[in-house]
Amino acid sequence: MGRVGIAIATGAMLIGVLGGCGGGAATAPGSSPAGASAAPGRAPAPAPPTVHTISVKVRGGKASGDTGRVTVPLGTPVVISVSSDVADEIHVHGYDRMVKVPTGSTGSVAFTANKPGTFDVELENAKLALLQLQVG
């Protein structure tokens, strides 16, 4: 009576142990190091997006440089630098970015162009249109 009880209990434990580790986990760890080292060469990693720098100079109320329409692909990191002879603010419409430009200095707005469309970039107080950023 006693022995039979122990045997059944032992069998149940073995089944439990085998069921716990037999789920196919044994094959995965051995193959992964080789696969990991091969991956970078096999899949050409997408090049990190290069920052698109837009530079505008404002003197005597007139903008020069990268004015007009500037087109960038969706997802491009963009830096808009504006140098101005008077203190003002750069306003990137649509992205709602405002950055101050001190007198005779340069202000920079950095953001990712992740919203498609055409957006005005303005020197806010002078109400001077600097450029239109076209994304997409």
Instruction: Using CB under 5 A, list all residues that contact Cu ion.
Output: 91, 122, 124
Indicate the DSSP class of residue 95: T
Identify the helix (H) or strand (E) that includes residue 129.
Answer: strand 128-135
CA atoms within 13 A on the CB side of 100: 3
In the complex, the smallest distance separating the C-beta of residue 43 from Cu ion, rounded to whole angstroms, is 43
**Toward Cu ion, which CB reaches closer, 52 or 93?**
93
Q: How many helices (H) and strands (E) does the chain have?
A: 2, 9
| Nearest approach, Cβ of residue 102 and Cu ion (Å) | 18
Shortest spacing between CB 59 and Cu ion, in angstroms: 20
The residue (of 15 and 110) whose beta carbon lies closer to Cu ion is 110
Query: Closest residue to Cu ion, Cβ-based?
Result: 91
Task: Give the β-pairing of 105-113 and 117-123.
Answer: unpaired
Q: Closer CB to Cu ion, residue 91 or residue 119?
A: 91
